[in-house]
Structure 1
Amino acid sequence: MTTYGTEPVRPAVDTVARAAETPDAALPYAELGMNDEEYARVQRILGRRPTSAELAIYSVMWSEHCSYKSSRVHLRKFGEKAPHSDALLVGMGENAGVVDVGNGWAVTFKIESHNHPSYVEPYQGAATGVGGIVRDILSMGARPVAVMDSLRFGAPDAPDTRRVLDGVVRGVGGYGNCLGLPNIGGEIVFDACYGANPLVNALCVGVLKPEGIKRATAPGPGNQVILFGAGTGPDGIGGASVLASATFDEASHQKRPSVQVGDPFMEKLLTECCMEIFAEDLVVGIQDLGAAGVSCATTELAAAGTGGMDVNLDLVPLRDPTLRPEEILMSESQERMMAVVEPAKVARFLELCKRWDVPATVIGAVTDTGRLRMTWRGETIVDIPPGTAADEGPVYERPYERPADLDQLQADGPDRLPRPSTPEQLRDTVMWLAGAPNLADKSFVTSQYDKYVQGNTVLAMPDDAGVVRIGDGPQGIAIATDGNGRYARLDPYAGAQLALSEAYRNVAATGARPLAVTNCLNFGSPEDPGVMWQFAQAVEGLADACQTLGVPVTGGNVSFYNQTGTTPINPTPVIGVLGVHDDVTRRIQISFNVEGMSLLLLGETRPEFGGSEWANVVFRHLGGLPPRPDLAAEAALASVLVNAARESLLDAAHDLSDGGLSQALLESCLRGGLGCTVTLPGDPFVELFSESVARAVVAVHPEREARVAQLCEAARVPLRRLGVVGGDSLTVEGQFSIPLTELREVYQGALPALFG
């Protein structure tokens, strides 16, 4: 901007009238991520060229991140194959799904990505990922009660992994801890494919009364539009389109201004303010300002309501008075909400905001014109049909084809790898897996998170699922997130089902009844036919599995362009499953902490090692086929675990997944402080390290074994007695015995040795 004296000379305002008079004026649509056809379509919709402010709206709303233009044709399968669920109150399409959990309570939960921002600026990228998902839950009318995070980083010995991990962990912990929300679980995975593309998927869960559900809608002409929360600044301008909707490369380091800056203290005030606003029923519609900021909130609210809205951008509170309208519209400054309020309730709304020191400003009104109109300095700069930006973006049927290297990859199975056969080799393998970064103790990271704030946490990491009590009674909910990029690389259809299976099993292992699903689908560029084939297969697999298991998808997120140059990450569908506990006092933990308990193995073990941690840790090998999903067996196992919990039959339960039986026994022994002795009748290598699905190890009082056996027989779940809890070693009869002190040193020391 050129200045003369003390008064800046500003460019002429690009008004609607000027746009009509200058049809050939060049606008930077390509720089904003739009292609020629998309820009031409905007011109056809408007009957003229867009103003620069209108271009800002369409560019962010039609970005991959906001419009799902490459994924929408596939995501329809979640609706087409949705199982019937009487519990589902709000499904896909809103800020988050809502399910009825009984006793007058509903639960809303969702998982979303903040991947690219977390590579560019790890602390703020991760922190604002937490803040954004919390506001999604808040906008449904719910009180947020817990968060989880699913994290993936590059190889642990790669030079940049320490920078990214340190910033992300501090960001997740710092923001969540300041909000006073317990972090109750998640994942931490290392793989070279995530080296320049970490995955930071954040989940939040909230509780509310079913009658208190809020919607993102602007009904009723004359109702007032109120922007409240933090001021609008230059941080995060275009973040959705700049960082999440294009190929990622080293130049993205220069895009730090596109990363939002979080203020968790303002978000805490905003949360408590909203709770009072909801309690007094002061809003008829509400939307958080996340990706695309004011552009998203105004277009979506108007499109879902009476159809029109008038907004005065001069009234938007700014932290930087030099921001132009395009920047105001594209800013993704955090801790902001937009509410639609009846005129008679505006004064009380503003009074509550003032009480909580939350700035609030009436910036417009609902109309029935079918147009979103915005003014700036007395001039009309936006005049569009809001639905064309919010709901009618481009939809692409991207070409897709099976990756050329997949046949060769699947043919290169792990059968050719030398397997441990002697007791000493088996013992060494147990130790190698115990200290592998993906399997080792994660408390080096999770100790930075507050797991017990609010006092309702019943179970948290490293248990199979996080469990929190809701309401004043014994009722609670369980949540788990899972995903395995190696499995999905070998077979994306099966890989998505395996991610769902594991999260479903983890929830059931605590004694909770699985009820609903959210997902975060992390993939490479949709312009790569191989990536689109992976995506289509994963969506199909997940939809089929949800239909079979009877758990609907309530919402989620698609994150494309997770690649550097032409190299995509492994396809990584991360699945969150919500379950319900009738009585959290009967929940099951993983700890072996009572001498003399019988150990039982539930489920069938097969020689399945494709994509396994054994192949990955010992040989850096990826090939073959992943374990075969068995959804019927998964449902049967879950029924046994849930019924056993209701009857208080189990002292401990732990699902078998990465690392197999060996890792499950190790974790339960170390968690409870007691060893165990087991007998393996078959091939000890297969018994110890197979990653077959639909399996769990349980600790049972000997007098209750017969009842557990009855439940297994009724559900047709294979049952085998393994051994007994006790002692101070992990002992496999006839093979080896490892003192827990030795296991603990390796298991707990791995991550501190790498990053401490």
Structure 2
Amino acid sequence: MENLSQVLKQHKLAQEDYHKILSILGREPNLVELGIFSAMWSEHCSYKSSKIYLNGFPTRAPWVLQGPGENAGVIDIGGGYGAVFKMESHNHPSFIEPYAGAATGVGGIMRDIFTMGARVVASLNSIRFGDITKKDSIGAKHRYLLRGVVAGIGGYGNCMGVPTIGGEMSFEPSYEGNILVNAFSLGIVKNDEIFYGKAEGIGNPVIYVGSKTGRDGLGGAVMSSDSFSEDSKSLRPTVQVGDPFTEKLLLEACLELFKQDLIVGIQDMGAAGLTSSSFEMAGRSGSGMVMHLDKVPMREEGMTPYELMLSESQERMLICAKKGCEARIIEIFSKWELDCAIIGEVTNSGKMELFWYNEKCAEIPIAPLSEKAPVLERPVSKNPHYLDSIVSLDEKSLRTQESQKVFESLLKSPEICDKAWVYTQYDSTVQTNTIIPSGAGGASVIRVKENGKGLGMSVACQSRLCYLNPREGAKQAVAKVGRDISLRGGRALAITDCLNFGSPENPEVMWQFKESCEGIKEACKTLNTPVVSGNVSLYNQTNGKDIYPTPSIAGVGVIDAVNNVLSSHFKEAGLEIYRLASQGIQPKFGASLVAKYFGNSFKGEIAKINLQDELFLWNFLNVANEYGLLKAAVDIYQGGLALALTKACIRGNIGVTTTKKLSFDELFGEAPTQILLAIESQNLERVISLLKNSNLSLTKVAILGGETLQIGDITMPLHNANQIFYQQFQNIIETL
């Protein structure tokens, strides 16, 4: 091959990789084969830098029906039904083309769900940008990116008829060169009707269904496995172009297909397209496969085998059918006006053999491709210094700030104010199952009509905390989503993760990754929330600047009494508000919102979680809600007690007066495992009895009523707080 070094560079392959390829093939690869190795050995597909740290994740429990290794994870939710869910990133494409990148991210995760045989019933998202309040070009760019991403998420999800019911967003300087767009979807499936991505049975036909293949998204997996530079605009052709109307047809066709005994397995053509789907299906079964690429439905003229194998055109599936069922499958997809073509068959050769007009254009042993994929033990910093250059928080100076001024500013911050401008662009009520949608605060909830139960789901990650202490930040992210579900009266059963980090070539980033993984393992083990699916996104770096470590966590839990979902709105005059928290864990300013906006730095002492206390809190909330002892409950999160209390009162449209003196630390400091409870006085003794022998303390802090927020030395008319809370985000987006 001429200009070998240049070709390898274009394919992000090292000389060591090339020598492995020579060993596997026993000869030099041609361009098609090199492209296949490049895609399958990319960071995005092979997890070569992260795999060794993912080992040891808790993945099993009696309710786990399918853990990592398939298109999505599945948990048993009772009555013979399962919840199928996963979260994935589409960061790089969304930065290059925000609408198309976000839209196809949503489409891709939905296909992962319905490929398992499930109907998709809910979506969440976690999106992160630079500072959108800046009046300079950076602020303008990230407002543009935010508009595009939100429109893409809404456009695709709304057209699919899938409710987007919740999510989170944050705004930090570290995302100025690399935004994050993480998409989560969940579906419902009968436990005995789950489908898997496998291709087995010698002679069984391999069938291509869905949209035609074009050149869009060509090399997307390789692009997502590299850092950005000033030249990132040249990567636009690597971003896929989605069509939600076609995907809707594909979903319905697949669900119809699943009702009949016609197929062995099915796989989405996601990252690396036809390459990953065919190799993964055959690899899981230890089979071989023959494919005739000239039979692939093509959107453009003059396409080559290389392009057909590596295109990431959307809305496509690969099916391993039962022999003799071809006509019926073609009939189903024809009915839904989708392409359907028999392009190959399963063999026992253990090889992938590709033909182009009856001439063999590639032949690769399937098992060695994955078994000999690079597993890199990249250098990991033993003593990271990235925080050394950052000054420490001057807490004494911070405490001199006027509480009223701090409160008003934090209420206006994009982290705190209501995001109606965003979530009203998403259809949250389609399918008529949504009980708690976006904008309510805390976990979102849907009704599962099939078994009469509810599902709570939440997504979270405090990236400033992860930057200061990746292990602690990851633990608290796992705890946060489970706490949100418990605050609805549910019990978190499992999580999915989306691990977003900078360049793995930076030893300090690899330390962040390693520490975050250890934090997830520890929290999931103690809290009994196994990891059932997930995604790793590395190289979130531009011009040498890495993002904050952002291990986004999404949790799912069952709510048995769907008519007894706990509210997060304080709305009844006379109710007493209590703070329930771990004894001995005081709110701190490290990584806090008040330090971000009013401190010289957010590098300060953080409050660390006691996972046993967290677990007790979850159990307490379940029992107390079951007994009807709580009127409402809300988590104390970013902004501390003052902002948590304010938001709960605004959403319930009621004033509040605190009943004890509150220090600056108590008002704005942050710590895990602390919540606010609205309790009727006649239930207080029973609540206290449930807390016996625990390490949790219950303290009365306020009483509801009136038209004013009187929180410590902070005073604001409820009407004014409402205006700020509900209008500020739209003002930022539309007036700057």
| TM-score interval (norm. to shorter) | over 0.9
Structure 2 residue matching 1:691: 3-state secondary structure: coil
Q: How far apart are 1:467 and its partner, in Å?
A: 0.7
The match for 1:257 is 237
Give yes or no for the alignment of 1:90 onto 2:71: no
Cα displacement string for residues 264-310 of structure 1 (whole angstroms, at most 9, x for unaligned residues):
00111111111111122322111001100000011001111241011
Q: How far apart are 1:482 and its partner, in Å?
A: 0.4
Which one of the candidate residues 36, 41, 44 is aligned to 1:62? 41
Structure 1 residue matching 2:100: 3-state secondary structure: helix
Give yes or no for the alignment of 1:118 onto 2:116: no
Distance 1:325 1:289 in 2: 16
Distance 1:678 1:672 in 2: 17
* Closer, same or farther: CA 715–84 of 1 in aligned 2, 3 Å: farther
Structure 1 residue matching 2:309: 3-state secondary structure: helix
Distance 2:394 2:425 in 1: 37
Distance 1:442 1:481 in 2: 16
The match for 1:205 is 186
Distance 2:152 2:184 in 1: 14
Cα displacement string for residues 191-230 of structure 1 (whole angstroms, at most 9, x for unaligned residues):
1110120000000011111111111110111111111011
Q: How far apart are 1:69 and its partner, in Å?
A: 0.3
* Closer, same or farther: CA 45–347 of 1 in aligned 2, 3 Å: same
Cα displacement string for residues 313-372 of structure 1 (whole angstroms, at most 9, x for unaligned residues):
011000012111111111000001111110122222111111211211111101111111
Percent identity between the two aligned chains: 40
* Closer, same or farther: CA 23–342 of 1 in aligned 2, 3 Å: farther
Structure 2 residue matching 1:361: 3-state secondary structure: strand
Give 1:92's aligned amino acid: P
Give yes or no for the alignment of 1:691 onto 2:670: yes
Give yes or no for the alignment of 1:295 onto 2:271: no
The match for 1:649 is 629
Q: How far apart are 1:611 and its partner, in Å?
A: 0.5
Q: Answer whether contact 1:91 1:553 (CA < 8 A) is retained.
A: yes
Which one of the candidate residues 454, 457, 476 is aligned to 1:479? 457
Cα displacement string for residues 236-255 of structure 1 (whole angstroms, at most 9, x for unaligned residues):
0011102x111111211111
Give yes or no for the alignment of 1:76 onto 2:55: yes
Give 2:197's aligned amino acid: A
Distance 2:235 2:3 in 1: 30
Give 1:272's aligned amino acid: E
Structure 2 residue matching 1:214: 3-state secondary structure: coil
Distance 1:648 1:161 in 2: 45
Distance 2:678 2:385 in 1: 44
The match for 2:576 is 598
Distance 1:122 1:371 in 2: 38
Q: How far apart are 1:388 and its partner, in Å?
A: 2.7
Q: How far apart are 1:107 and its partner, in Å?
A: 0.7
Q: Answer whether contact 1:513 1:581 (CA < 8 A) is retained.
A: yes
Give 2:716's aligned amino acid: I
Which one of the candidate residues 379, 387, 408 is aligned to 1:431? 408
The match for 2:258 is 278
The match for 1:442 is 419
The match for 2:438 is 461
Cα displacement string for residues 614-658 of structure 1 (whole angstroms, at most 9, x for unaligned residues):
001223622023321221111111111111222232221111111
Q: Answer whether contact 2:501 2:549 (CA < 8 A) is retained.
A: yes
Distance 1:148 1:620 in 2: 34
Give yes or no for the alignment of 1:32 onto 2:11: yes
Q: How far apart are 1:573 and its partner, in Å?
A: 0.8
The match for 1:166 is 147
Which one of the candidate residues 692, 697, 714 is aligned to 1:736? 714
Aligned residues: 726
Which one of the candidate residues 499, 505, 512 is aligned to 2:477? 499
The match for 2:590 is 610
Following superposition of structure 1 onto structure 2, how do residues 327-406 of structure 1 map, counting pairs within 5 Å?
327-402=307-382, 404-406=384-386
Using the TM superposition, name which of 83-92 and 257-266 deviates more. 83-92
Cα displacement string for residues 162-212 of structure 1 (whole angstroms, at most 9, x for unaligned residues):
111111010001000100111111111111110120000000011111111
Give 2:171's aligned amino acid: F
Structure 1 residue matching 2:36: 3-state secondary structure: helix
Give 2:182's aligned amino acid: N
Unpaired runs of 5+ in structure 1?
1-21
Distance 2:561 2:336 in 1: 36
**For the aligned residues, what is the CA RMSD?**
1.7
Structure 2 residue matching 1:226: 3-state secondary structure: strand
Distance 1:383 1:407 in 2: 49
Which one of the candidate residues 130, 135, 139 is aligned to 2:115? 139
Structure 2 residue matching 1:215: 3-state secondary structure: coil
Give yes or no for the alignment of 1:245 onto 2:225: yes
Q: How far apart are 1:687 and its partner, in Å?
A: 1.7
Distance 2:390 2:529 in 1: 30
Q: Answer whether contact 2:11 2:222 (CA < 8 A) is retained.
A: yes
Give yes or no for the alignment of 1:229 onto 2:210: yes
The match for 1:312 is 292
Q: How far apart are 1:564 and its partner, in Å?
A: 0.8
Q: Answer whether contact 1:145 1:207 (CA < 8 A) is retained.
A: yes
Q: How far apart are 1:77 and its partner, in Å?
A: 2.4
* Closer, same or farther: CA 596–668 of 1 in aligned 2, 3 Å: same
Cα displacement string for residues 397-443 of structure 1 (whole angstroms, at most 9, x for unaligned residues):
0001056534636871442433147xxx2222211111111111111
Using the TM superposition, name which of 445-454 and 743-752 deviates more. 743-752
Give yes or no for the alignment of 1:717 onto 2:696: yes
Q: Answer whether contact 1:90 1:98 (CA < 8 A) is retained.
A: yes
Q: How far apart are 1:84 and its partner, in Å?
A: 4.9
Give yes or no for the alignment of 1:218 onto 2:199: yes
Following superposition of structure 1 onto structure 2, how do residues 600-679 of structure 1 map, counting pairs within 5 Å?
600-604=578-582, 606-619=586-599, 621-679=601-659
* Closer, same or farther: CA 281–660 of 1 in aligned 2, 3 Å: farther
Distance 1:83 1:139 in 2: 21
- What TM-score, normalized to structure 1? 0.93
Structure 2 residue matching 1:724: 3-state secondary structure: strand
* Closer, same or farther: CA 313–575 of 1 in aligned 2, 3 Å: same
Give 2:113's aligned amino acid: I
Q: Answer whether contact 1:414 1:609 (CA < 8 A) is retained.
A: no
Give yes or no for the alignment of 1:418 onto 2:394: no
Which one of the candidate residues 523, 532, 540 is aligned to 1:562? 540
Distance 2:672 2:263 in 1: 47
Using the TM superposition, name which of 683-692 and 537-546 deviates more. 683-692
Distance 2:166 2:586 in 1: 29
The match for 1:103 is 79
Structure 2 residue matching 1:332: 3-state secondary structure: coil
Structure 1 residue matching 2:465: 3-state secondary structure: helix
Using the TM superposition, name which of 617-626 and 358-367 deviates more. 617-626
Unpaired runs of 5+ in structure 2?
none
Q: Which stretches of structure 1, 4 residues or more, deviate above 6 A after TM superposition?
A: 22-27
The match for 2:528 is 550
Distance 2:301 2:368 in 1: 30
Distance 1:711 1:255 in 2: 58
Using the TM superposition, name which of 662-671 and 716-725 deviates more. 716-725
Using the TM superposition, name which of 59-68 and 665-674 deviates more. 665-674
Distance 1:658 1:627 in 2: 13
Q: How far apart are 1:30 and its partner, in Å?
A: 1.7
Using the TM superposition, name which of 83-92 and 166-175 deviates more. 83-92
Distance 2:67 2:214 in 1: 33
Distance 2:498 2:330 in 1: 36
Distance 1:481 1:652 in 2: 21
* Closer, same or farther: CA 573–729 of 1 in aligned 2, 3 Å: same
Structure 2 residue matching 1:731: 3-state secondary structure: strand
Q: Answer whether contact 1:88 1:99 (CA < 8 A) is retained.
A: yes
